């Protein structure tokens, strides 16, 4: 009996020591689930070449065409023209800069029922320019130019010892053959049209961006050194609709750093009914 009691006392003493050494049972460590780190990958688009012209229709200075202009809210663009303006004109196959010589008369548009001012030039004027910094006299020009530069087409020309390339891009939606005064011509209906300009092995830069045309297309009207800086300037017709006449002027001297040219001015004449 004494042996049994002794054994019980020994077991109780051992249990007591164990509890005193570790009064609380160890708790299981609950770990927060580790979330996998994710990295957001943003695929950067290749930057579009910066347009050489301004993105809006604001002009550095005004230009006008020898044409008919409608009155609008008792104002008329033709009233801006004075003898201090510059005339870019053609004579005997050559181009000149000179003082504007013109006759302005009142007219009437039977189509729209609007009063108009009509500008008739004494010269074969391509453009009237309100930039007094231009120097009078004959100017160097590219004599043979490609009128239309369609998407996927390139055209190169040499000016003052430097090779320049114009490249067209865009979507051709349809193609047809048209009869003109010069004979048959292929015409494409184009959307998202862009015209790029580059020189030598230099970077290609965006010159013109037109989202759509309504039975029209961009035409090269003139390439020459209007501002006399030894680099080509451009006069481009880019009617967005068949009831519009729109002309844009690009001058290389206004381009600034890292640009070949800049759109300085545009004029748009509406003759819809």
Q: Percent of the chain having pLDDT more than 70?
A: 79
pLDDT of residue 135: 96
3-class SS letters over the chain: CHHHHHHHHHHHHHHHHHHHHCCCCCCCCCCCCCCCCCCCCCCCCCCCCCECCCCCCCCCCCEECCCEEECECCECHHHHCCCCCEEEEEECCEEEEEECCEEEEEEEECCCCEEEEEEEECCEEEEEECCCCCCCEEECECCCCCCCCCCCCEEEEEECCEEEEEEEEEEEEEEEEEEECCEEEEEEEEEEEEEEEEECCCCCEEEEEEEECECCCEEEEEEECCCCCCCCEEEEEECCECCEEEEEEEEHHHCCCCCCCEEEEEEEEECCC
Q: Say what percent of the chain tops pLDDT 90.
A: 64
Show Cβ contacts of residue 261 under 8 Å, excluding neighbours closer than 6 positions. Answer: 52, 53, 197, 207, 231, 232, 233, 234, 250, 251, 252, 255
Check residue 9 and give its pLDDT: 44
> Over 70: is that where the pLDDT of 71 sits?
yes
Inter-residue contact 85 to 101 (CB < 8 Å): no
Q: How confident is the model at residue 35 (pLDDT cuts 50, 70, 90)?
A: very low
List of residues 6+ apart from 89 with CB closer than 8 A: 95, 96, 98, 121, 123, 124, 125, 126
Could you report the per-residue pLDDT of 205-225, keeping only the tens digit for each?
Answer: 899 999 999 999 999 999 999
Averaged pLDDT, 164-188: 91
Token pair listed for 147:
């009128």
CA atoms within 13 A on the CB side of 182: 4
Mean pLDDT for 20-36 is: 42
Q: Exposed, middle or buried by CB within 10 Å (0-12, 13-18, 19+), for 109?
A: middle
Average of per-residue pLDDT across 137-152: 96
Beta bridge mates, 271: none
Q: How far apart are CA 126 and CA 140, in angstroms?
A: 15
pLDDT band of residue 29 (cuts 50, 70, 90) is very low
pLDDT of residue 7: 46
**What's the pLDDT score for residue 168?**
98
CB 115 within 8 A of CB 106: yes
Q: What is d(CA 135, CA 231) in angstroms, rounded to the nearest whole number?
A: 15
Give the predicted TM-score (pTM) of the model.
0.77
- What pLDDT shows up at residue 49? 39
Radius of gyration for the chain, computed over Cα atoms and rounded to the nearest angstrom:
38
pLDDT in tens, 42-69: 233 333 433 333 334 589 999 999 999 9
Distance CA(57)–CA(203), nearest Å, equals 25
Q: What is the pLDDT of residue 191?
A: 97
Residue 1 has pLDDT above 70, yes or no: no
């Amino acid at each position: 009996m004494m042996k049994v009691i002794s054994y019980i006392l020994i077991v109780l003493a051992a249990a007591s020591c164990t509890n005193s050494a570790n009064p609380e049972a160890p708790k299981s460590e609950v770990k927060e689930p580790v979330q996998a780190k994710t990295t957001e990958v943003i695929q950067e688009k290749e930057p579009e070449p910066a347009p050489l012209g301004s993105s809006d229709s604001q002009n550095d200075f005004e230009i006008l065409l020898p044409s008919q202009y409608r009155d609008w809210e008792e104002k008329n663009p033709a009233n801006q023209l004075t003898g201090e303006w510059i005339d870019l004109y053609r004579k005997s196959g050559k181009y000149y800069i000179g003082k504007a010589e013109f006759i302005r008369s009142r007219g009437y548009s039977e189509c729209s029922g609007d009063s108009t001012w009509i500008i008739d030039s004494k010269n074969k004027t391509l453009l009237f320019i309100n930039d007094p910094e231009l120097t009078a006299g004959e100017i160097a020009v590219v004599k043979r130019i490609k009128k239309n530069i369609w998407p996927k087409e390139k055209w190169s020309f040499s000016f003052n010892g430097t090779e320049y390339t114009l490249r067209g891009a865009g979507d051709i939606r349809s193609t047809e053959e048209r009869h003109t005064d010069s004979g048959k011509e292929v015409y494409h209906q184009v959307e998202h049209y862009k015209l790029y300009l580059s020189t030598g092995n230099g970077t290609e830069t965006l010159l013109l961006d037109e989202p759509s045309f309504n039975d029209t297309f961009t035409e090269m009207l003139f390439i020459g050194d209007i501002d006399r800086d030894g680099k080509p300037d451009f006069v481009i017709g880019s009617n967005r609709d068949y009831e519009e006449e729109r002309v844009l002027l690009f001058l290389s001297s206004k381009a600034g750093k890292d640009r070949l040219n800049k759109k300085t001015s545009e004029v748009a004449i509406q003759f819809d009914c």
